Structure 1
């Protein structure tokens, strides 16, 4: 499983650090060369965008594992943006 945490550090001031989003990516096809993944993501509300806090669950199908981890993270991010979400 990959776990990605997005922290906001206003003006680089560490005491103000807070987590604004998380994502977990779990392989559900026994590490096959071309695998499927389950994605779960949460994010806090965003006053600038006017969005409420939410959670998203989605799938990635047929991802070739012989790629950079960033290819998987990018694909997961894309699926999250397209998925219906549940407000927290």
Structure 2
């Protein structure tokens, strides 16, 4: 399993660093010559764009692991970009995600 975390550093400030998104890429088979992957991505709310926090699921099929991690990450991002996003629902007690 691979875990990718996207962090925002406003104006390059380490003290203001905060995560804004993550992606999990899970090999559904084994270490075959061609592998299938389940991809789950989560994104926090973005007040600048007005988007709500949400998640999406997708898959990468028939990827050759010998092509390298960056090829797999590119394919995972392309599939997540096409996926239908589901907004997180706020808890009734006002809890935050």
Choose between structure 1 and 2: higher strand proportion: 1
Q: Kindly report structure 1 stretches of 4+ aligned residues shifted beyond 4 Å.
A: none
TM-score by length of 1: 0.93
Uncovered stretches (5+) of structure 1, i.e. residues with no partner: none
Largest Rg, 1 or 2: 2
The answer to whether 1:69 aligns with 2:82 is no
Uncovered stretches (5+) of structure 2, i.e. residues with no partner: 89-97
Aligned length: 88
* Aligned CA-pair RMSD: 1.0
TM-score by length of 2: 0.85
The answer to whether 1:5 aligns with 2:2 is no
Distance (Å, rounded) in 1 between the aligned partners of 2:69 and 2:2: 9
